[in-house]
Structure 1
Amino acid sequence: MDHLLALRVFVRIAESGSFTKAADSLNLPKPTVTRQIQDLETHLGVKLLQRTTRKVSVTPEGASYYEKAVRVLADVEEMDASAAKTRAKPKGRLRVDIGSSLANLILIPALPGFRQRYPDMQVDLGVSDRPTDLISEGVDCVIRGGALADSSLVARRIAELEYVTCASPSYLKQYGRPTHPRDLAQGHVHINYFSSLTGRPFPLHFRRGDEAVEVAGRAAISVNESTAHLTALLSGLGVSQTFKFMVRPYVERGELVPLLSDWTRPRHPLNILYPPTRQLNARLRVFVDWSAEVFKEFDWPTD
């Protein structure tokens, strides 16, 4: 039995709740994963995992063993990094999940610089605006905006993004230009952005001094993906709020028109999040630091 491999397999199954997911994330055949667990349980003389037709869970003995196994694997990786002096040039695969617009407009264009700095690392990007379960899906970190719902994750703030209210010239020609946020409640058509988690649309928010206004109007279309949201704006389907960094080139070319510029929407906090068990991972450490450098350019004070 490869004891170190068996520990890695056990930890991944415990975190994902699935032999199949563990095999996929470790790039191993499922029979190999099954055999490693069988050999490990035989070696220890205890049952680590409880298997049913619906899920896999850890036994009480497995839960205790998991905590120790995570620490051992972290120590081994730290030892290897120190011995091979790979802190500056870590190797291996890193799975990152990120929203569509953040990936296409910020992260991916900057990745050639990351590849030059860390040529032996492979970055696997999961690109979507849906919420991600880092543990069960074997994701090392996610870059997400908004309120932090999962307090069990480690979070590092990397930017605060500014919003802009805008519409296309063709839309404004048909519906006119609003002079107050309340104008948008009647006589205007919205492009709603709805939550992938709840299915509910996010209303428009406006703030000017001590005055705050929330508007939820008639929607021509609702989307749950940021690139599609921008495309709907450019197509003249309605008025909405989106990130300033996304629309800047279209505003400069006259394809979108900023509205109600004396009103603001509270800035959108952007964080990189990862499980506490990953924080000693050298690959994750360099990616988090590099991401903070990249997104600093889009942080609101620099705009």
Structure 2
Amino acid sequence: MDRFQSMQVFAKVVELNSFAKAADALRLPRSTVSIIVGKLEAYLRIRLMQRTTRRLSLTPEGADYYRDCIRILSEIDEAEDLFSSAPNRPRGRLRLQMPTTLGRLVVVPRLDDFYKQFPDMALVIGLDDGQPHPTHESVECSIRFEEPDEGNSVSRRLGDVPLLTACSPDYLRRYGEPQRVEDLQQHRSVQCFSRRSKKVTNFMFDIDGDSVEVGMSATLAISDEEACGMCSARGAGLVQAPRFVLAQYMESGELVEVLSKWRPRPIPAIAVYPRNRHVSLRARVFVEWLAGLFEDCPLLSSDLNTKDQPSTGNRVNPGVTSGRLMACG
């Protein structure tokens, strides 16, 4: 039995969640793929997968073995890169995970710039705000909007993501503008809830140097920040979200900022690597590119250009930031 080929075949079956798709991708007969995985299970004396007519699922032992397979195959790829004809030019596949809104609104629209610099790389990007699936152990780098709390990873800070509190002009006409944080108890809100914890994310404000959490009764709770911004722009209530999520509505005038005197502290953006795995050249160059994006993109800058904002009142004049907010480079 060729153990290296067996690991490649097994990893591809898990990645594509299909024996047939794995066979097509590897250009092998479908029966051969099934035989290879069966022989691997017999060699290891464990069941790696539960197979039904409709789906495949990893056993706990299979999930552990898959994680090790991906690590080993990634290190082999990295070793080959080091001895290729262009050792400083990364190539191969990089698996990433990042928040849905960051990927969809900021990173994915800029990938053409990345590929101009690194044409030999292939990216597999998971846009996911929830708890990683066991097969996501194959991810070489994940981007998070919080400090990692597990002890089996290392991280690099990419930058800080500004948060804004906003609502629609129509909402202000109907309910008035909150002048103090205490006024929020009389207002409606659209809040995001975590798919991981199932808890609604309360609003945060920086009051006299302290970060204060303010609980509100959510008129509407959605597990997607972009959808929260859309509903707020249509008058459903106050919303608090990263500036890059609300930028299109701020530019058009569909949302205006409120309570800017007590803007919440920016949230950290962190690149996280598994501690027990070698950090590949592919992961390093992507994180360096992403760090540059955080530095250059106005949407991700911690500088809110307050000097350009109106000197009185709490609202952002959408015309002031038009063009600057929507451009990242």
Mapped to 2, the partners of 1:169 and 1:25 lie a distance apart of: 53
The CA RMSD over aligned residues, in Å, is 3.5
Q: Which residue of 2 aligns with 1:300?
A: 302
Mapped to 2, the partners of 1:140 and 1:209 lie a distance apart of: 40
Q: 1:137 to 1:225 in 2, by over 3 A?
A: farther
Q: Which amino acid aligns with 2:250?
A: V
Mapped to 2, the partners of 1:249 and 1:19 lie a distance apart of: 35
The question of whether the paired residues in 2 share the 8 Å contact of 1:279 and 1:285 is answered with no
Q: Which residue of 2 aligns with 1:56?
A: 59
- The answer for unaligned runs of 5 or more in structure 2 is 51-56, 306-329
Q: 1:176 to 1:162 in 2, by over 3 A?
A: same
Mapped to 2, the partners of 1:167 and 1:288 lie a distance apart of: 34
The question of whether the paired residues in 1 share the 8 Å contact of 2:75 and 2:280 is answered with no
Mapped to 1, the partners of 2:22 and 2:302 lie a distance apart of: 36
Q: Which residue of 1 aligns with 2:101?
A: 101
Q: 1:181 to 1:78 in 2, by over 3 A?
A: same
The question of whether the paired residues in 2 share the 8 Å contact of 1:204 and 1:241 is answered with yes
How far 1:33 moved relative to its partner? 5.0
Aligned length: 291
Matches within 5 A, 1:176-215: 176-186=176-186, 188-215=187-214
Mapped to 2, the partners of 1:41 and 1:100 lie a distance apart of: 36
Q: Does 1:163 align with 2:163?
A: yes
Q: Which residue of 2 aligns with 1:83?
A: 83
Mapped to 1, the partners of 2:17 and 2:271 lie a distance apart of: 23
Mapped to 2, the partners of 1:72 and 1:79 lie a distance apart of: 11
Name the SS for the 2:260 alignment partner: coil
Per-residue Cα deviation, 1:246-266 (whole angstroms, up to 9, x for no partner): 334533443211111110212
Larger CA deviation: 261-270 vs 151-160: 151-160
Mapped to 1, the partners of 2:18 and 2:273 lie a distance apart of: 18
Mapped to 1, the partners of 2:246 and 2:114 lie a distance apart of: 25
Name the SS for the 2:44 alignment partner: coil
Per-residue Cα deviation, 1:166-198 (whole angstroms, up to 9, x for no partner): 111001110100111110112x10001111112
Matches within 5 A, 1:246-265: 246-265=245-264
How far 1:241 moved relative to its partner? 0.9
Q: 1:219 to 1:111 in 2, by over 3 A?
A: same
Per-residue Cα deviation, 1:179-232 (whole angstroms, up to 9, x for no partner): 11110112x100011111122101111122245543222322111112111111
Task: Determine which structure has greater relative contact order: mean sequence separation of CA pairs < 8 Å that are 6+ residues apart, divided by chain length.
Answer: 1
How far 1:21 moved relative to its partner? 4.4
Q: Does 1:217 align with 2:211?
A: no
The question of whether the paired residues in 1 share the 8 Å contact of 2:166 and 2:238 is answered with yes
Q: Which residue of 1 aligns with 2:118?
A: 118
Q: 1:124 to 1:55 in 2, by over 3 A?
A: closer
Q: 1:48 to 1:156 in 2, by over 3 A?
A: farther
Q: 1:208 to 1:197 in 2, by over 3 A?
A: same
Q: Does 1:154 align with 2:154?
A: yes
Q: Which amino acid aligns with 2:109?
A: P
How far 1:292 moved relative to its partner? 1.8
Matches within 5 A, 1:4-23: 4-9=4-9, 12=11, 21=17
Q: Which residue of 1 aligns with 2:283?
A: 284
How far 1:137 moved relative to its partner? 6.2
Q: Which amino acid aligns with 1:300?
A: S
TM-score by length of 2: 0.74
How far 1:107 moved relative to its partner? 0.2
Q: 1:123 to 1:72 in 2, by over 3 A?
A: closer
The question of whether the paired residues in 2 share the 8 Å contact of 1:195 and 1:201 is answered with yes
Mapped to 1, the partners of 2:125 and 2:270 lie a distance apart of: 16
The question of whether the paired residues in 2 share the 8 Å contact of 1:144 and 1:271 is answered with yes
Larger CA deviation: 283-292 vs 102-111: 283-292
> What percentage of residue pairs aligned between the two structures are identical?
28
- The answer for unaligned runs of 5 or more in structure 1 is none
